[in-house]
C-alpha cells in the first residue's frame, strides 16, 4: 500500500511538472509563430491548421492536427498534384498522410491525389465510391489497390478521429442521389474544440437539400462548394451553416467564370457577415485555430479583398438585377420574403425597373428597406426588351 501510495505520489508529482511545463510552453510561445513553417511539435501551441491550397482550378485542403498528423482532402488536377502539392508537402516536411479523402471522382479533385498516393505513405483513403469510368478515376482506384491502402466508404453518420480532431461524414447517404457525381460529393465536418469546418467538394443544390433534410449544424468555416458555381450554395444552405468565414477554391482566370456572380450575391445576401477568401485572389488560404478562435493567413493580399466583403462596397457586377432576378434570388435579399418577391415580379411585368427607387411603389417596401436593399440591387435591361 505504501509503495502504491508513493508511486501515485511520484506519478502525480511528475504529471504536475509536465503540466506546468506545457502551460509555460503555451504561455511563452508568442502568437503568430505558426504559419507555413513547421517547427518541432514541442515548440508549438496546440493548434489545428487547415490550408486551402491554391491548386488553380480545383480543390485541395491540407489539415494538420495539433499532434502533427496530416489529412488531405482532394488534390486538384494531376498537374497540380505534381507541381504544387508534392513540393508543398515536402517543404512542410510531411512524411506521411494519416488520411486522404476523395470527395468525388472528378479529375480536378482526385487527379492530384495520384502523384501523392504514388510517393507519400498514406494510412487510409476515405471516398464516395461512386461508379465512374474515367481514366483518372480508374487509375486512382487501381493505385489504392496496388499500394494496399485501406479504403473506406464515406457515408453519412461515419465518424473518424485523427489525433484530437473529429471528422464527421454528413454526406452522401444511401441510396445515393440520382442527380449525378457532384450531388454525392463527400461532405465532411471537421471539429476541433468549438470550431468546425465544413468541406463540401462539388456538392450541388440537390445535394445540399439532402444534407439539410438530415439537419446541418452551424459551422465556423465553410468551403463554398463547386468552386463558387451558381448551381451550389443556396440561400437555405448558407442560412443553416451560418459561416463566419467562407473559402472559395477557384483558379485565377478559370474558363468557367467561377466564382459565379449569383453565388457572390447569395453570400452577400444570405451570409452577410461572412469574410470571404478566394484562392484566385488570395492564393493559398490558411486558417489556424486553438479550438476557440480562428486566424487567417493568406499567401497574397489583394487590395480590398482581405477584409470583409462589405455589402456597401459590393461592385455593381455583383448586385442583383431587379429586372432579371429569379424569385429565389429576390427571396434571399434581406427583408424580402416570398410575398414581397412575388410583388416585385408582378410589378416588373407591368413596369420594368428603370431606377431602384421604384421599389417604393411596391406595397410593403418603405424607405428604410429601400436603403437596406440599395447596395445589393441594380437595374439592368428589362426582361421585356429581350
Q: Which residues are at the interface with Zn ion (CB under 5 A)?
A: 108, 202
**Under the phi-then-psi rule, with left for phi > 0, alpha for psi from -120 to 50, and beta for the rest, what region is 368?**
alpha
Q: Which is nearer to Zn ion, 98 or 202 (CB)?
A: 202
Q: How many helices (H) and strands (E) does the chain have?
A: 13, 17
**Least gap, CB of 285 to Zn ion (angstroms):** 17
Residues contacting residue 9 through CB under 8 Å, at least 6 positions apart = none
User: For residue 282, which of 314, 310, 305, 253 has the smallest C-alpha distance?
Assistant: 305
CB of 106 to Zn ion, least distance (A): 5
Closest contact distance (angstroms) between CB of 226 and Zn ion is 6
Measured over the CA atoms of residue 152, residue 132, residue 260 and residue 55, the dihedral's sign is positive
Smallest CA-to-CA distance from 260 within 205, 342, 214, 213 is with 205
Minimum distance of Zn ion from residue 82's CB (angstroms): 18
| Shortest Cβ 135–Zn ion spacing (Å) | 17
Cell 442527380 locates to 179
Closest to Zn ion by CB, 202 vs 321, is 202
Cell readout for 60 is 485541395
Q: Specify the residue for cell string 515548440.
A: 43
Give 194: exposed, middle or buried? Use CB within 10 Å, 0-12, 13-18, 19+: exposed
Angle at alpha carbon of residue 251, lines to 246 and 257, rounded to 5°:
90
For residues 59 and 226, what is the distance between their CA atoms, to the nearest angstrom? 9
Minimum Å gap between C-beta 201 and Zn ion is: 7
**Minimum distance between the CB of residue 127 and Zn ion, rounded to whole angstroms?**
15
CB–CB of 284/252 below 8 Å? no
Query: Rounded CA gap, 57 and 228, in Å?
Result: 11
Select 122 or 181, whichever has its Cβ closest to Zn ion. Answer: 181
Q: Of 177 and 345, which has the nearer Cβ to Zn ion?
A: 177
According to DSSP, the residues that pair with 195 across neighbouring strands are 192
* 3 state SS of 125: strand
**How many CA atoms lie less than 13 Å away from 188 in the CB half-sphere?**
28
Nearer to Zn ion, 224 or 269 (CB): 224
Residues 6+ apart with CB under 8 A from 1: none
Between 78 and 348, name the residue whose CB sits nearer to Zn ion: 78
Length, in residues, of the chain: 386
- In angstroms, what is the minimal distance from the CB of 324 to Zn ion? 27
Q: How far is the CB of 37 from Zn ion (least distance, A)?
A: 30
For the bound state, the minimum distance from the C-beta of residue 48 to Zn ion, rounded and expressed in Å, comes to 25
**Radius of gyration over alpha carbons of the chain, in Å?**
24
Residue 190, beta-bridge partner list = 167, 197
Amino acid at each position: 500500500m505504501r509503495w502504491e501510495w508513493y508511486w501515485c505520489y511520484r506519478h502525480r508529482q511528475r504529471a504536475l511538472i509536465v503540466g506546468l511545463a506545457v502551460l509555460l510552453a503555451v504561455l511563452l510561445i508568442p502568437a503568430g509563430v505558426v504559419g507555413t513553417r513547421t517547427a518541432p511539435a514541442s515548440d508549438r501551441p496546440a493548434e489545428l491548421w487547415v490550408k486551402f491550397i491554391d491548386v488553380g482550378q480545383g480543390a485541395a485542403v491540407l489539415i494538420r492536427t495539433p499532434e502533427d498528423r496530416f489529412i488531405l482532402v482532394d488534390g486538384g488536377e494531376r498537374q497540380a498534384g505534381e507541381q504544387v502539392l508534392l513540393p508543398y508537402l515536402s517543404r512542410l516536411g510531411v512524411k506521411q498522410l494519416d488520411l486522404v479523402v476523395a470527395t468525388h471522382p472528378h479529375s480536378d479533385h482526385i487527379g492530384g491525389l495520384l502523384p501523392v498516393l504514388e510517393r507519400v505513405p498514406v494510412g487510409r483513403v476515405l471516398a464516395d465510391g461512386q461508379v465512374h469510368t474515367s481514366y483518372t478515376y480508374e487509375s486512382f482506384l487501381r493505385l489504392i489497390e496496388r499500394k494496399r491502402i485501406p479504403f473506406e466508404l464515406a457515408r453519412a453518420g461515419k465518424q473518424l478521429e485523427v489525433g484530437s480532431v473529429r471528422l464527421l461524414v454528413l454526406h452522401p447517404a444511401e441510396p445515393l442521389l440520382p442527380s449525378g457525381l457532384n450531388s454525392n460529393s463527400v461532405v465532411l465536418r471537421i471539429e476541433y474544440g468549438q470550431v468546425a469546418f465544413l468541406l463540401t467538394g462539388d456538392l450541388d443544390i440537390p445535394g445540399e437539400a439532402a444534407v439539410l433534410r438530415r439537419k446541418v449544424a452551424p459551422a465556423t468555416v465553410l468551403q463554398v462548394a463547386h468552386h463558387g458555381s451558381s448551381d451550389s450554395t443556396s440561400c437555405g444552405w448558407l442560412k443553416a451553416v451560418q459561416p463566419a468565414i467562407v473559402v472559395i477554391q477557384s483558379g485565377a482566370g478559370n474558363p468557367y467564370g467561377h466564382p459565379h456572380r449569383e453565388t457572390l450575391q447569395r453570400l452577400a445576401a444570405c451570409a452577410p457577415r461572412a469574410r470571404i477568401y478566394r484562392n484566385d485572389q488570395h492564393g493559398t488560404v490558411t486558417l489556424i485555430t486553438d479550438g476557440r478562435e480562428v486566424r487567417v493567413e493568406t499567401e497574397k493580399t489583394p487590395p480590398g479583398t482581405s477584409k470583409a466583403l462589405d455589402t456597401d462596397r459590393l461592385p455593381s457586377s455583383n448586385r442583383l438585377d431587379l429586372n432579371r432576378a429569379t424569385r429565389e434570388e429576390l427571396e434571399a435579399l434581406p427583408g424580402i420574403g416570398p410575398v414581397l418577391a412575388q410583388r416585385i415580379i408582378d410589378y416588373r411585368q407591368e413596369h420594368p425597373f428603370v431606377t431602384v427607387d421604384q421599389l417604393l411603389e411596391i406595397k410593403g417596401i418603405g424607405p428604410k428597406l429601400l436603403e437596406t436593399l440599395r447596395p445589393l440591387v441594380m437595374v439592368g435591361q428589362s426582361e421585356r426588351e429581350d
